Amino acid sequence: MTATTATPRTPSRLRFAIFVFIAVYPLVTLLLYLIGPITAEWQVWQRNLLFVPIMVFSMVWVIIPRIQRHCGRWL
C-alpha cells in the first residue's frame, strides 16, 4: 500500500498583495495625516526617513504576520 502525501497549495501572490494593500493603505493615509502637519517644512527625504521605518516595522512585525495568521486560508 502506498501512502500519498498531499502537497500544500501555493499561496496566491495576487491575493496576498491585495490583503497587504487593504492593510497598508489606511495606515499610510493615517500616518500622512498625522506626520504631514508636523513635517510640513521638512525636505521629502527627511519625511521619508521618519515615515519609512514606521511602515517597515509595521509591515514586518504587525501587518504581514496578522495577514498570514488570520487570512491564510484565503491566500
- For the chain, domain boundaries: 13-74
Q: How far apart are CA 21 and CA 19, in angstroms?
A: 5
Query: What one-character-per-residue DSSP string does 5-55 give?
Result: -PPPPPPPHHHHHHHHHHHHHHHHHHHHHHHHHHTTTS-HHHHHHHHHHHH
Whether residue 3 is predicted with pLDDT greater than 70 in this model: the reply is no
pLDDT tens-digit profile of 11-69? 789 999 999 999 999 999 999 999 999 999 999 999 999 999 999 999 999 999 999 99
Report DSSP state, residue 62: I
Q: What are the cell numbers at 51?
A: 515615515
User: The whole model's pTM is what?
Assistant: 0.76
- State the pLDDT at residue 1: 59
